[in-house]
């Protein structure tokens, strides 16, 4: 009888240990800060705890095409726990729309004895508008007339003269630009020389001393973008900052992470009117010139064997 009781107790202990081993996956999500304005970064931290032997796969970042974008690559940090697999992933994001927005993060994949998906639908942030409450943007325009009033005869004559004047202005601008190119202003082969000359010209304008720090940063970053458009085929000048970062993220000649940080901060200064100090403006100017030099060194090193063979 005693042996039977001991056997029952042993089986219950084994079942309890198996239940502990098959504990459910636990997840915790924090968003700091929970309320931001358009263009301000925020941090989403996802912590997942699973039984020992499990493998946790966090999503790389937000889905493409959403109003929430990643500023930095995902950071995965292990937590100290000898009984379970405990890991945390940190995402530094920025939102470009207002209201309560989803982080656009995909599900977490947990594999082990059983495959499980953990939804991150609760990772939301509230984006506050930067417009004043008494804005008149929502006031509807007055209704138009069903039949437009007849215009006098000289209206068409004036419109024709204005069109001729505009065409003449465009023709003059094209002729002047062509003449400047013929005089040897800028050529693709001298992209680095032109960029260095433009950097020096912007610094000599004295914008920092005049208090125009935002304009100084915008001009220095534009010089860097013009150089990349001449040196790298994928860096078309018509692309936005996000499109340039995605187009050059796999380029071996371009430091994509440094470039993304510069473009992201420059957009906040230009479009969101983010304040910038003199020291930070000078640091961004140095980083822009550093990206240009690094790309130029990479391009020359890659093309050196071809020049030697020629």
Averaged pLDDT, 180-200: 71
What's this model's pTM, rounded to 2 decimal places? Answer: 0.41
Sequence-distant (6+) residues with CB within 8 A of 83 are 52
Pair 189, 117 in one domain = no
Q: State the total domains in the chain.
A: 2
Written as six digits, the tokens of 217 are: 């940063």
In a domain? residue 141? no
Collapsing DSSP states into helix, strand and coil, what is residue 89? strand
Banded model confidence at residue 21, pLDDT cuts 50, 70, 90: very low
Last residue within a domain, chosen from 86, 104, 128: 128
Asked whether residue 11 is assigned to any structural domain, the reply reads: no
The torsion angle over the Cα atoms of residues 208, 210, 213 and 214, rounded to 10 degrees, is -140
Q: According to the model, what pLDDT value does residue 185 have?
A: 43
Task: Provide the residue range defining the domain that includes 85.
Answer: 23-128
Question: Of 12-16, 35-39, 280-284, where does mean pLDDT reach its minimum?
Answer: 12-16
Q: In this structure, what CATH number is given to the domain that contains residue 210?
A: 1.20.120
Same domain, 113 and 192: no
pLDDT digits (tens, 9 = 90+) for 261-280: 999 999 999 888 899 999 99
| 245 occurs within a structural domain | yes
Query: pLDDT by residue (tens digit) across 67-92?
Result: 787 877 888 888 776 678 888 888 88
Give the end of a domain, one of 87, 111, 128.
Answer: 128
Burial (Cβ within 10 Å: 0-12, 13-18, ≥19) of residue 13: exposed
Say yes or no: 187 and 294 in one domain: yes
Question: So what's the pLDDT on residue 308?
Answer: 62
Per-residue pLDDT of 216-255, as tens digits, reads 999 999 999 999 888 888 888 888 888 988 888 888 888 9
**298 and 227: one domain?**
yes
């Amino acid at each position: 009888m005693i042996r039977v009781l001991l056997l029952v107790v042993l089986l219950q202990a084994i079942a309890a240990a198996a239940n502990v081993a098959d504990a459910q996956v636990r997840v915790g999500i924090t968003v700091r800060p929970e309320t931001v304005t358009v263009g301000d970064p925020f941090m989403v931290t996802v912590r997942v705890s699973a039984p020992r032997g499990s493998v946790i796969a966090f999503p790389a970042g937000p889905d493409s095409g959403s109003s929430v974008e990643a500023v930095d690559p995902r950071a995965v940090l292990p937590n100290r726990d000898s009984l379970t697999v405990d890991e945390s992933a940190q995402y530094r994001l920025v939102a470009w729309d207002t209201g309560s927005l989803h982080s656009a993060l995909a599900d977490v994949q947990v594999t082990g004895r059983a495959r499980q998906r953990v939804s991150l639908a609760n990772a939301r942030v509230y984006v506050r508008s930067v417009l004043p409450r008494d804005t008149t943007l929502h006031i509807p325009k007055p209704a138009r007339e069903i039949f437009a009033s007849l215009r006098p005869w000289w209206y068409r004559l004036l419109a024709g003269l204005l069109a001729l004047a505009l065409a003449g202005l465009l023709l003059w601008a094209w002729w002047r630009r062509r003449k400047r190119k013929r005089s040897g202003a800028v050529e693709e082969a001298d992209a680095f020389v032109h960029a260095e000359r433009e950097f020096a010209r912007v610094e000599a304008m004295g914008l920092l001393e005049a208090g125009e720090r935002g304009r100084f940063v915008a001009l220095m970053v534009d010089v860097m973008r013009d150089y990349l458009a001449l040196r790298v085929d994928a860096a078309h000048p018509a692309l936005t900052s996000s499109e340039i970062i995605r187009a050059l993220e796999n380029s071996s000649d371009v430091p994509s992470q440094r470039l993304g940080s510069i473009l992201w901060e420059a957009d906040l200064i230009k479009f969101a009117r983010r304040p910038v100090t003199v020291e930070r403006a000078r640091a961004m100017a140095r980083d822009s010139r550093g990206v240009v030099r690094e790309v130029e060194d990479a391009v020359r090193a890659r093309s050196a064997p071809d020049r030697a063979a020629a």
